[in-house]
Amino acid sequence: MSVWDLNQSLLNFGNGNYWTIEDSFDGLQCFGKTGSGKTSSVGRNLASSMLNADYGGLVLCLKSDEAGNFEKWADAEGRGDSIFRMSIDEDLYFDVLGYETQKEGGTETENLLNLFITMMEITNNGKLFSGNDAYWGLSVRQCLRNVIDIIKAAKESFSIFDIYKFIISAPQSANELLSDEWKKESFCFECMKLANNNAGTSTDLEIAMVYFGKEFPTLSEKTRSIVVSYITTTADAFLRGSLKKYFAEKTNCQPSLSEEGAIIVLDFPVEGSGGELGRIGQSIYKYAWQKSILKRDYDRGKGKSNRPCFLWADESQRFLNSSDVQFTQISRSQGVANVFLSQNESGYHAAIGEGKRNEVNALLGNLSTKIWCANDDFLTNEEAAKRLGQRWMKISSMSTSVNKGAEPAAGNAGVSVSEQLRYLVEPREFTELRTGGEVNDYMCDVIVFKSGKKFDEKGNNFIKTAFQQHF
């Protein structure tokens, strides 16, 4: 088995300061306005260094040119053969639910339930079961848990279409439950009958049978219709078009390929023709990739490890879901470098939602390396200045006074010195960083912060440096 030296340098920040494979596992967040050189300088240099170090990885794509650019970067580092590019022009597929059922432990009901709930969250663009909707979240989970238990006991295979067929044919009343016509046509009844014959004695199955035999048919019409609607609207998205073709039918591009060195590039751009296919498909693949890599056999010790992997998301705010905070908390121990690039912190707040400042702070806190390119977003610059710290500084001020009644006019002048708490880097300084291009010799200024690291003899945990743009 190949081993990687965790002290291997990936980036050189100058003055003897290096960013290593070990550092990459602590996560990295880069902020920069449009045109700051965020991707062409920081992104390109960082991606090239990880490709050169033979990382495996997953690349999410917002724009139509990103997959091609990453492929060129891989070619330049001799890693072109490692690219697995999923797109509408390639014959690579991933059945998200089918893959989960085939993994060791994948048939656990709670694993399948959490996967479907995540699919539901992604399909609804993150707006799910918050505030007054908490009751519906519990009700939907209860219903889905029982659906899954019955289908598992009834069938060897498991699909999103099975869930859809089951829930739309479930009994709507106690009278329908006794109807011969319903029994003849209902996929729900067929599964209940097969499960009863196949499973033998099972407490979980018994609870599921009671739920659909007694509780579900007697729910109020409003409650039942809302629960069913939550489930069917999610399933419906994966039962048609490209989402069905690429993410719900078969698998030949499984997330675990990254552990063997594959760079999986999801070329379903969110902006442009990809739209919802890109957002939903990439987000659910990311979730499956995260779950997979957390279960891998990762070995590290005495400064060595087996293959490192990265999760790459440019305009990362567009791909977030509720699992990301937890993943970034624990993925370090599995040799994962989370690399997020975004224009500003305001974009995170807009994506995650109002009133969820703690979630944004938790996510950013888990990405311990911060790189700021030029930015004119007030919140980003203010938060960056706060993060870099303050110190007491002696500030001189001059005062003058004029005695107008005196002949001739007389006045006094004085100088006073006071101590004031000031930012080590003022917010305005982030607006003055060079943004590359010919006028700047294709150099982009950045300020790098790494918690726990001292960059100079003063003990500062940040450094101002510059990256070369590459096109």
In a domain, 393, yes or no: no
What's the rounded Cα separation, in Å, for the pair 115 and 180?
Answer: 35
- Domain housing 154: 101-241
**Together in a domain, 224 and 194:** yes
Q: How many residues does the chain have?
A: 471
- Per-residue pLDDT, 274: 64
Report residue 291 as tokens: 């779950």
Instruction: Specify whether 237 is located in the same domain as 274.
Output: no
Provide the number of structural domains found in the chain: 2
In this prediction, residue 135 carries a pLDDT of: 85
Residues 305 and 370 in one domain: yes
Q: At 44, which CATH number?
A: 3.40.50.300
| pLDDT, tens digit, 9 for 90 and up, residues 70-89 | 999 999 999 999 999 999 99
Same domain, residue pair 159 and 218? yes
First to last CA, the chain: 35
Q: 327 and 181 in one domain? A: no
Residue 101 clears pLDDT 70, i.e. is over it: yes
Residues 6+ apart with CB under 8 A from 50: 10, 24, 57, 308, 310, 337, 339
**How far is the C-alpha of 6 from the C-alpha of 21, rounded, in Å?**
5
> What pLDDT score was predicted for residue 397?
66
At 201, is the pLDDT very low, low, confident or very high (cuts 50, 70, 90)?
low
Tokens of 369: 């390396």
Residues 82 and 176 in one domain: no
Averaged pLDDT for residues 255-263:
96
CA distance 334 to 305: 10
Same domain, 333 and 272: yes
Residue 397 lies in a domain: no
Q: What percent of the chain has pLDDT over 90?
A: 71
pLDDT at residue 226 greater than cutoff 60: yes
CA angle 436, 441, 447 (to 5 degrees): 45
Contact 5, 345 (CB under 8 A): no
Residues 202 and 226 in one domain: yes
pLDDT tens string 417-444: 677 788 899 999 999 999 999 999 999 9
Does 305 or 183 have the greater pLDDT score? 183
Residue 401 lies in a domain: no
Stated pTM of the model:
0.89
Q: Are residues 216 and 84 in the same domain?
A: no
In terms of Cα–Cα distance, which of 281, 377, 363, 359 is closest to 36? 377
Partners of 265 in the β-ladder: 59, 85
pLDDT band for position 396 (50/70/90)? low
Indicate whether 35 pLDDT > 90: yes
Do 88 and 105 reside in the same domain of the chain?
no
- Let me know whether 112 and 183 are in one domain: yes
